Structure 1
Amino acid sequence: MCTSLPTVPSAEDVFLAERRRRVVRDAVAALPGRCPQLVAALAEDPPPTYRELSERLGMPRGSIGPTRSRCLACLRALLHTERYL
């Protein structure tokens, strides 16, 4: 029976993971309009339903999906400009 010991992340791994989290957090905050609130809500565990999002953000349920797509495209573009991701 072979058991492996849990790996401990190196200081560099910890640093890089925190840097990535900070870059993503900053990029989400830089999104336009309702995007920061929508993206943050979608990252919750468990994510809220569209009904809950509609009530929380004051937007029609039918516009959540298209808005989500635009917000994520904008987030991808912002993160793409960061060379170290």
Structure 2
Amino acid sequence: MRTDLPSHPSAEDEVLAGLRRRLVREAVAALPGRCPRLVAALAEDPPPSYRELADRLGMPRGSIGPTRARCLACLRVRLHAEWYA
């Protein structure tokens, strides 16, 4: 068994993790339309059902999946642009 491995994240790792969380929160907040609320709801533990999301967001249940896909694609583009700019 190795004993030279740290048992806790380093201060640098904690700062970087905090920065990543902040960047993701800001990118989610900047998404268009219902996307910020939808993405935030999907990150809940446990995530709400599509029926609950439809009621909460006032949208048809059948549009949750396609809207989710568009929102996540937009988020991916924003984060990629932010991290690799």
Please give the alpha-carbon distance, in whole angstroms, between the structure 2 residues aligned to 1:10 and 1:53: 38
Q: Distance in 1 between matches of 2:6 and 2:49?
A: 36
Gaps of 5+ in 2: none
2: CA distance, partners of 1:44 / 1:63: 19
CA apart distance, 1:44: 0.2
Seq. identity, %: 76
- For residues 30-50 of structure 1, give each alpha carbon's deviation from its aligned partner in whole angstroms, at most 9, with x where no partner exists: 000000000000000000000
Give structure 1 stretches of 5+ with no counterpart.
none
Distance across 2 between alignment mates of 1:83 and 1:63: 30
Q: d(CA) in 2 for partners of 1:49 and 1:30? A: 24
Question: Scaled by the length of structure 2, what TM-score is found?
Answer: 0.91
Return the offset for 1:82.
1.5
Secondary structure of the corresponding residue to residue 83 of structure 2: coil
> Counterpart of 1:81 in 2: which secondary structure?
helix
Q: Kindly report structure 1 stretches of 4+ aligned residues shifted beyond 3 Å.
A: 2-6
Q: Aligned pair in 2 of structure 1 residues 80, 3: CA closer, same or farther (>3 Å)?
A: closer
Q: 2:59 matched to which residue of 1? A: 59
1:83 is displaced (CA, Å) by 2.4
Number of residue equivalences:
83
